[in-house]
Structure 1
Amino acid sequence: MFIHRFTAAFCALAALAAPASAQEALRLTVAAGHPPIFLWVKHLHETFIPTVDAELAKTGRYKIQWNEAYGGTLTKMGSELETMQQGISDLGIVATVFHSSKMPLNNVTYFVPFGPADAERVVQAIDYVQTLPELSGEWKKHNVVYLAGFTLDSYGIAAKVPLAKVEDFKGRKIGGAGPNLNWIKNTGAVGVQGSLNSFYNDIKTGVYDGAFVFMTAAVPAKLFEPAPYYTELDFGSMYAGAVAVNRGRWERFPEEIRVAFRKAGNAYKGLYLQEQTARIKAAYAAWEKGGGKVVKVDPAERAKLAKQIPNPTLDWAKQTGAGPAKKVLSAYMGTVRAGGFRFTRDFDKE
Structure 2
Amino acid sequence: MPPAGACFPACRADPAAIDRIAGAPGPDLLRCGMIFTAGRAEHNPTSDVARGALAALAFFLSSTEMTERTTSAGPEPLRGSAAKCADRSRPAGTLDTAIERRLSQGKNVKMTARSVFVSAVAGLSLAVAVLATAETFNLKLASGHPPGLHYVDLLHEWFIPELKERAKAKGHTVNVIQLYAGSAVKLSETLEGAQHGFVDIGGMCYCFEPSDLMLHAFQVLLPFGTPDPELSVKIARSVYGQIPELPNAFNEKYNQTLLSLFGQDPYDIYAKFPVNSVADVNGKKIGGAGPNLPWVGLAGSIAVQTTGAIVYNSLQTGVFDGAISFVSRSQGLKLYELAKNYTKVGFGSITFHGVQINNKSMAALPPEPQQILV
If the TM-score is normalised by the length of the shorter chain, which range does it land in?
0.5 to 0.7
Higher alpha-carbon deviation: 182-191 or 195-204: 182-191
Equivalent in the alignment of 1:219: 331
Equivalent in the alignment of 1:133: 244
Write out aligned runs for 1:180-329 (5 A).
Answer: 180-262=292-374
Equivalent in the alignment of 2:150: 39
Answer with 1 or 2: which has the greater Rg. Answer: 2
1:66 partner SS: strand
Equivalent in the alignment of 1:85: 195
TM-score computed with the length of structure 1 as normaliser: 0.66
Question: How far apart, CA to CA, are the structure 2 residues paired with 1:56 and 1:191?
Answer: 46
Would you say the 8 A contact 1:44–1:92 is kept in 2? Answer: no
Higher relative contact order (Cα pairs below 8 Å, separated by 6+ residues) = 1
Q: Which runs of 5+ in 1 are unaligned?
A: 1-18, 263-350
Determine whether 1:122 maps to 2:229: no
The Cα shift of 1:186 comes to: 3.2
The Cα shift of 1:152 comes to: 1.7
Change (3 A) 1:206 1:65: same
Equivalent in the alignment of 1:54: 165
Change (3 A) 1:248 1:178: same
TM-score computed with the length of structure 2 as normaliser: 0.62
Counterpart residue type for residue 140 of structure 2: T
Structure 1 runs (4+) deviating above 4 angstroms are none
Alignment root-mean-square deviation, CA: 1.8
1:71 partner SS: coil
Question: How far apart, CA to CA, are the structure 2 residues paired with 1:163 and 1:101?
Answer: 32
Work out which of the residue numbers 109, 124, 127 in structure 1 matches 2:219.
109
The Cα shift of 1:22 comes to: 6.0
Equivalent in the alignment of 2:287: 175
Question: How far apart, CA to CA, are the structure 2 residues paired with 1:184 and 1:47?
Answer: 34
Question: How far apart, CA to CA, are the structure 2 residues paired with 1:65 and 1:78?
Answer: 26
Question: How far apart, CA to CA, are the structure 2 residues paired with 1:22 and 1:177?
Answer: 45
Equivalent in the alignment of 2:108: none
Q: Which runs of 5+ in 2 are unaligned?
A: 1-129
Question: How many residues are treated as equivalent by the alignment?
Answer: 243
Determine whether 1:71 maps to 2:181: yes
Would you say the 8 A contact 1:51–1:260 is kept in 2? Answer: no
1:230 partner SS: strand
Work out which of the residue numbers 245, 263, 269 in structure 2 matches 1:151.
263
Q: Give CA-to-partner distance per residue, 1:11-65, whole Å, 9 cap, x none.
A: xxxxxxxx9x9643222101011111122111212211111111121231x3222
Equivalent in the alignment of 2:84: none
Would you say the 8 A contact 1:105–1:134 is kept in 2? Answer: no
